[in-house]
Amino acid sequence: MSEAPAPAVETHDLTRRFGSLVAVDDLTLRIERGEVFGLLGPNGSGKTTTIRMLCGLLEPSEGWATIDGINVAKAPEQVKMHIGYMSQRFGLYEDMTVDENLTFYAGIYGLSDARRDQRLDAVVVFLGLDGRLKQLVGELSGGWKQRVSLACALLHEPPVLFLDEPTAGVDPAARRNFWGAIHDLAKRGTTVLVTTHYMDEAERCGRIAMMSGGRLIALGTPAQVAAQVGGGGKTLEDAFIILQERNE
């Protein structure tokens, strides 16, 4: 009998200290393949530090994390080929065209010529970039930069995608289109972990982990998290406001 596949993301007692500051404190999570999973919390709650550890950019002070069954601390370079990462700053070269940015990132991921051409065609079609390929990225709106950044993160077909505040400063129409793409990816089996301050976006996640002061304080569906933090009858937005007030 074959073993069940490892979860897409798993952490156990994951902790990160910066001197006396405990940025992430004993975080234990299990995220299954194909989930759209939200990581919520006020500024300073530990969300970005968690993602940086999961991406292999920060070594945990204690505990462990795996991506696709690969220990992040022991094999960070191997993990990087299994993940895509996108932040609110997009990480694009604004003096290069869309096509040049995509080709550059394909080179970073070490895609062969044939594989590169196949993946470039696929992400361009998926995100509707064909009419923008020769345009300088610096001339694009926030919504189009967002699409290009997501395309770059998807070139190597990572099974796990990390999105750190990816819709900050983007207009509502672009945000809706972006979330349509996220759910399309999940239907294809990609696991998506996203941080957001927008509660309407958080409602579109299958499950949510809410953090405060580096600790996990609630876990479950949006409705379950709202009840755990805010009590019966509270919405997720109510719960988030309550949490912010507790931290002031």
Report the percentage of the chain scoring pLDDT > 70: 98
DSSP, collapsed to helix, strand or coil, labels residue 228 as helix
Amino acid at 114: A
Residue ranges and CATH numbers for the domains of the chain are 1-82+184-248 (3.40.50.300)
Nearest to 128 by CA among 82, 159, 174, 190: 174
Q: How many helices, marked H, and strands, marked E, lie in the chain?
A: 9, 10
Report the percentage of the chain scoring pLDDT > 90: 73
Span 68-104, pLDDT tens digits: 999 999 999 999 999 999 987 778 999 999 999 999 9
Say what the pLDDT of residue 100 is. 97
Phi, psi angles (nearest 5°) of residue 66: -130, 150
pLDDT range class, residue 186, cuts 50, 70, 90:
very high
pLDDT range class, residue 238, cuts 50, 70, 90:
confident
Q: Give Cβ neighbours of residue 85 (< 8 Å, ≥ 6 apart).
A: 51, 55, 153, 161, 162, 164
Counting other chains too, the contacts that 77-80 makes at CB distance below 8 Å and 24 or more residues apart are: 79/55, 80/55, 80/56
Phi, psi angles (nearest 5°) of residue 191: -90, 130
Task: Dig out the tokens for 25 from the structure.
Answer: 């404190």
Say what the pLDDT of residue 10 is. 98
Span 150-162, pLDDT tens digits: 999 999 999 999 9
Say what the pLDDT of residue 248 is. 66
